């Protein structure tokens, strides 16, 4: 609202201008006359301002009529794929635990395509606030049946009325959600008349307040009018909501554990470093390891290792991550491969940083270790300017055509085969990369390989391969 308590006007949580419709109309929303979304938006905006959380609110807008909520709310915004808002909200909240995350969804979005996401976010008790607009129809796409459509209700896809035998019963999400243990607050409200709107305002604020206090998962189902979908006037639609929806979806609080709920931020729930090292059996091994990088000066390493299945690509990638862990750095590793065990292509993404890593994906690597021809062809162009490409010259005849990257040609397969361990060729690729860039001393790789291989003889062979490769790179 305005800063003057005596004036009720457009909330400061809304943008001054709504650019959705271009320059012709920057003052109205795209919602139909009488749509409940607009009414709820205003209540959410009011609570955001009342609670003083505008600068830390992140609104996740769904697919459905509210898909454009980000054109209206002057907050952080993410617009997500159909049904996925609670999953994205989970990621946003966990990576930014201090933010206030709102997952805003319609009934097609939440109760049909996104059923799995909402149930599991609720079941994990994610610290977020969900506003679920139940208007008993798919509004945006033209009035098809939603899971919440009532028995007998005519829609574009139930022209004779919804029949239990054919389409089942209306799904009651608040009842479902409140059957789970984790949610702290579950309430169904309505926008259909003045007393219910007053109640809704209070509940919207409470559900946000819960999150401000770190209380956990709050779920508010809002019975709402979609005059276009129902093909009635706005006033009639609200009468219908009262006469029909209120009976099927009772308006009530299903749970309020906020008085006793503990703060439930999922702070670093999965990234306690010691626990990770312990789980990987690395904890006691790290004791005699002396990290050698200056963490404060460490430049982010975004590496793609690529080749064919059987070259040891994925395990070499994870070796790099393990090495990073020994050094006390942050790291991620994700494999990307086809269904074939061997004979397919395979590559992995490895990130190493001195800061927490947001996404494990490496879309623009600064390092490419290309173990075969197709890998070089596929990934050469995505390497960052001034990046490094290690080319396995035993297999790849082609030269790198780019002039803005540093290239090392090393006969990795040859060296590994000559020294008796062809399977070590990708580790050899790692050795080449470390020897070329010196981001972590290549001797440290020897240490990790030595620790991870149980058979001493095999470890020794690997180490001689690493040394030979390092020598080769040193000479380039």
Partner 1 sequence: MKQDSSVPRVEIRINECKGCHLCIAACPKKVLEPSGCFNNQGYNYAKYKGEGCIGCGICFYSCPEPGAITVYKKEN
- Give the CA count within 13 Å in the CB-facing half-sphere of 87: 12
First to last CA, the chain: 67
| 68 conformational bin, left if phi > 0, alpha if psi -120 to 50, beta if neither | alpha
| 349 conformational bin, left if phi > 0, alpha if psi -120 to 50, beta if neither | beta
Report the nearest approach of partner 1 to the CB of residue 300 (Å).
42
The interface partner of residue 219, options being ligand SF4, ligand TPP, partner 1, none and the CB cut-off 5 to 8 Å by kind, is none
Is residue 158 packed enough to be buried (19+ CB in 10 Å), middle (13-18) or exposed (0-12)? middle
Report the nearest approach of ligand SF4 to the CB of residue 11 (Å).
15
Task: Please answer whether residues 132 and 175 qualify as being in contact, where contact means their C-beta atoms are separated by less than 8 angstroms.
Answer: no
Select the residue interacting with ligand TPP from 135, 200, 228, 462 (CB under 6 A).
135
Question: Could you tell me the two tokens for 209?
Answer: 């307040």
Query: In the window 218-277, what residues touch partner 1 (CB under 8 A)?
Result: 227, 233-235, 238
Task: Please answer whether residues 152 and 162 qualify as being in contact, where contact means their C-beta atoms are separated by less than 8 angstroms.
Answer: yes
The interface partner of residue 228, options being ligand SF4, ligand TPP, partner 1, none and the CB cut-off 5 to 8 Å by kind, is ligand SF4
Strand partners, 415: none
Select the residue interacting with ligand SF4 from 140, 389, 463, 473 (CB under 6 A).
140
Cα–Cα distance between 143 and 228 in angstroms, integer? 8
Select the residue interacting with ligand TPP from 63, 207, 369, 469 (CB under 6 A).
63
116 binds partner 1 (CB under 8 A): no
Query: In the window 64-83, what residues touch ligand TPP (CB under 6 A)?
Result: 64-66, 82
365 binds ligand TPP (CB under 6 A): no
- 220-239 footprint of ligand SF4 as x/- string (CB under 6 A): ------xxxx----------
How many residues bind to ligand SF4 according to rule CB under 6 A? 12
Region binding partner 1 by CB under 8 A among candidate stretches 28-36, 60-68, 207-215, 375-383: 28-36
Region binding partner 1 by CB under 8 A among candidate stretches 34-42, 51-59, 122-130, 418-426: 34-42
106 binds ligand TPP (CB under 6 A): yes
Select the residue interacting with ligand TPP from 140, 204, 436, 470 (CB under 6 A).
140
Report the nearest approach of partner 1 to the CB of residue 2 (Å).
8
Task: Please answer whether residues 104 and 79 qualify as being in contact, where contact means their C-beta atoms are separated by less than 8 angstroms.
Answer: no
Q: How far is CA 19 from CA 24, 48, 68, 126, in A?
A: 9, 21, 10, 33
Select the residue interacting with ligand TPP from 122, 146, 192, 367 (CB under 6 A).
146
Cα–Cα distance between 438 and 190 in angstroms, integer? 63
Q: How far is CA 68 from CA 55, 61, 73, 280, in A?
A: 20, 7, 9, 44
Cα–Cα distance between 87 and 67 in angstroms, integer? 16
Task: Please answer whether residues 119 and 148 qualify as being in contact, where contact means their C-beta atoms are separated by less than 8 angstroms.
Answer: no
206 binds partner 1 (CB under 8 A): no
Of 30 and 197, nearer to ligand TPP (C-beta) is 30
Binding residues for ligand TPP, rule: CB under 6 A, are 63-66, 82, 106-109, 113, 133, 135, 137-141, 146, 226
Residues that bind partner 1 (CB under 8 A): 5-11, 14, 25, 27-29, 31-39, 41-43, 45, 72, 193-194, 197-198, 201, 227, 233-235, 238
């Amino acid at each position: 609202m305005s800063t003057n308590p005596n004036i009720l006007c457009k909330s400061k949580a809304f943008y001054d201008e709504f650019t959705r419709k271009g320059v012709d109309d920057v003052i109205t929303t795209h919602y139909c006359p009488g749509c409940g979304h607009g009414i709820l938006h205003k209540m959410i905006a009011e609570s955001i301002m009342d609670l003083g959380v505008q600068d830390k609110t992140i609104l996740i807008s769904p697919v459905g009529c509210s898909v454009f909520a980000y054109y209206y709310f002057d907050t952080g915004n993410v617009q997500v794929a159909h049904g996925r808002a609670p999953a994205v909200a989970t990621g946003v909240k966990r990576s930014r635990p201090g933010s206030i995350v709102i997952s805003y969804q319609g009934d097609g979005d939440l109760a049909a395509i996104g059923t799995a996401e909402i149930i599991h976010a609720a079941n994990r008790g994610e610290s977020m606030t969900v506003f679920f607009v139940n208007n008993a129809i798919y509004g945006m796409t033209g009035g098809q049946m939603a899971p919440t459509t009532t028995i007998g209700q005519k829609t574009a896809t139930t022209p004779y009325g919804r029949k239990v035998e054919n389409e089942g019963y209306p799904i009651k999400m608040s009842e479902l959600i409140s059957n789970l243990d984790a949610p702290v607050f579950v309430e169904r409200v309505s926008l259909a008349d003045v007393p219910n709107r007053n109640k809704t305002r209070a509940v919207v604020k409470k559900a946000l307040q819960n999150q401000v206090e770190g209380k956990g998962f709050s779920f508010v189902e809002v019975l709402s009018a979609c005059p276009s979908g129902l093909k009635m006037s706005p006033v009639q639609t609200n009468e219908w909501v009262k006469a029909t929806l209120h009976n099927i979806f009772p308006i009530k609080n299903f749970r309020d554990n906020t008085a006793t709920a503990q703060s439930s931020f999922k702070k670093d729930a999965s990234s306690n470093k010691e626990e990770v090292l312990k789980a990987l059996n690395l904890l006691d091994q790290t004791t005699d390891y002396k990290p050698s990088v200056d963490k404060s000066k460490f430049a982010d390493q975004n590496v793609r290792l690529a080749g064919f299945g059987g070259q040891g690509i994925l395990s070499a990638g994870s070796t790099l991550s393990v090495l990073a862990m020994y050094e006390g750095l942050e790291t991620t590793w994700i494999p990307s491969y086809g269904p074939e065990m061997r004979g397919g292509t395979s590559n992995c993404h490895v990130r190493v940083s001195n800061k927490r890593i947001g996404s494990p994906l490496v879309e623009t690597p600064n390092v490419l270790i290309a173990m075969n021809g197709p890998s070089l062809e596929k990934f050469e162009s995505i390497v960052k300017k001034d990046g490094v490409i290690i080319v396995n010259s035993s297999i790849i005849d082609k030269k790198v055509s780019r002039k803005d990257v540093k290239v090392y040609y090393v006969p990795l397969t040859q060296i590994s085969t000559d020294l008796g361990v062809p399977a070590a060729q990708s580790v050899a690729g790692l050795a080449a990369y470390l020897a070329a860039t010196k981001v972590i001393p290549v001797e440290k790789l020897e240490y990790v390989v030595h620790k991870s291989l149980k058979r001493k003889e095999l470890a020794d062979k690997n180490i001689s391969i690493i040394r030979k490769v390092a020598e080769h790179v040193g000479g380039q």
